[in-house]
Amino acid sequence: MPVRAAGAESGTGAPRSPAQAMEELEHTCPQPRMTLTAPAPFADETSCQCQAPHEKLTIAQARLGTPADRPVRVYADGIFDLFHAGHARALMQAKTLFPNSYLLVGVCSDDLTHKFKGFTVMNETERYEALRHCRYVDEVIRDAPWTLTPEFLEKHKIDFVAHDDIPYSSAGSDDVYKHIKEAGMFVPTQRTEGISTSDIITRIVRDYDVYARRNLQRGYTAKELNVSFISEKKYRFQNHVDKMKEKVKNVEEKSKEFVYKVEEKSHDLIQKWEEKSREFIGNFLELFGPDGAWKQMFQERSGRMLQAFSPRQSPNSSPTRGRSPSRSPSPPWVINKASPPSSPKAASASLSSMSEGDEDEK
């Protein structure tokens, strides 16, 4: 909001009092970001131009909450190389220290970092941009000082400095935040164990061959990776071997899958065959078994044939049965085989008797 002069007139045309002008000045402090659709601004682009007196706050006052037009300005600094979750969690703690806070993050330049700490993986521009896109950051200060001076704190109207409580020895000092702690402006945060920039670099160095082979495979040259001609050939050969292993592994997996499908289908076929065989055996037994339909049909047909070949007996009232109860006489041509003639004379006598009998019948 633009700042008006103390004697400027209001919309009604009447001159304003100095108290009204001071009240208008109190609303010029940058407010925390309410939206995350844009990156955080740089401090040299939108610095705090508030002309209202910036009274010193105590930690107790800041924790009770400040007016909306007077956010607590919290400062956190660092190198932020290979920006990771540990950095983000530290900034989250700094942002949530007080109910109404405005987080400024200072990032040291390459020259200052290489002088006091060592070489970085990311350059300063990359590190600035990484901080701008963190959701907890309201403002980024480029080329931040290694040791915080009263002039720097006054320029950016910093109320408190947030950092982990472990003494940070550097630049000939046992703790570069010692004077901040003595002034009552230091608020500690907690480090995230198990992750740091040094841990990530250690992993890269430990697995250097793996990453070098991967980048060669992705199109990087040996010169870009700073590897020798022999190492390049070795890495490329290892990549070729890994590809062959991967192909063999894929073939084995496909073979296992094929065998599994064949076994599954054969199991289904065997199961279907068993079901059909049981059905066939059941039908066979039902047809040809001891009590099967074929036996019943055979018995019925054999009974009919016996009835057809053996005539029925005459009834009791028939004339033949009334004539003589004895057995019907045999025909004259039937020879009694059970008692053959004992001599030729007996045979001739029997024949003569048969002829006499015939004459009598005539």
Best CA proximity match to 79, nearest among 138, 194, 139, 163: 163
All domains in the chain, ordered by first residue: 59-194 (3.40.50.620), 198-298 (no CATH)
- Crossing angle of helices 229-288 and 208-217, in 10° steps, is 80
Output the pLDDT for position 331. Answer: 53
Q: Going along the chain, which residue ranges are E strands?
A: 72-78, 101-107, 139-142, 160-164, 186-189
Q: What is the pLDDT of residues 36-64, one digit of tens each?
A: 788 998 988 776 666 677 788 899 999 99
Which range has the worst mean pLDDT, 88-97, 111-120, 263-272, 288-297? 288-297
Residue 159: count other Cβ atoms within 10 Å of its Cβ.
25
Return the CA Rg of the chain.
Answer: 59
Query: What residues pair up with 188 in beta bridges, in sequence order?
Result: 163
Q: What is the pLDDT of residues 303-318, one digit of tens each?
A: 777 777 776 665 565 5
Q: What is the pLDDT of residues 137-149, one digit of tens each?
A: 999 999 999 999 9
H or E element at residue 345:
helix 344-361
DSSP letter at 329 equals P
Cα separation of 72 and 342, whole Å?
Answer: 158
Mean pLDDT of all residues in the chain? 79
Q: Give me 125's structure tokens.
A: 């521009």
Q: 29 pLDDT band (50/70/90 cuts)?
A: confident
Best CA proximity match to 47, nearest among 158, 180, 177, 159: 158
Evaluate if pTM is beyond 0.85: no
β-pair type (186-189, 101-107): unpaired
25 has pLDDT over 80: no
Q: 344 pLDDT band (50/70/90 cuts)?
A: low
Q: Which residue has the higher pLDDT, 121 or 287?
A: 121
Q: 354 pLDDT band (50/70/90 cuts)?
A: low
The torsion angles phi and psi of 99, rounded to 5 degrees, stand at -60, -35
Q: What is the pLDDT of residues 84-95, one digit of tens each?
A: 999 999 999 999
Q: Which residue has the higher pLDDT, 358 or 92?
A: 92
Average pLDDT value for residue range 285-290: 73
Question: What CA–CA distances, in Å, run from 316 to 146, 319, 320?
Answer: 145, 9, 9
Instruction: Provide the greatest CA pair distance for the chain.
Output: 187
Output the pLDDT for position 227. Answer: 82
Amino acid at 214: R
- Beta-carbon contacts of 162 under 8 Å, excluding residues fewer than 6 positions away, are 74, 75, 76, 90, 93, 94, 97, 187, 188, 189
345 has pLDDT over 60: no
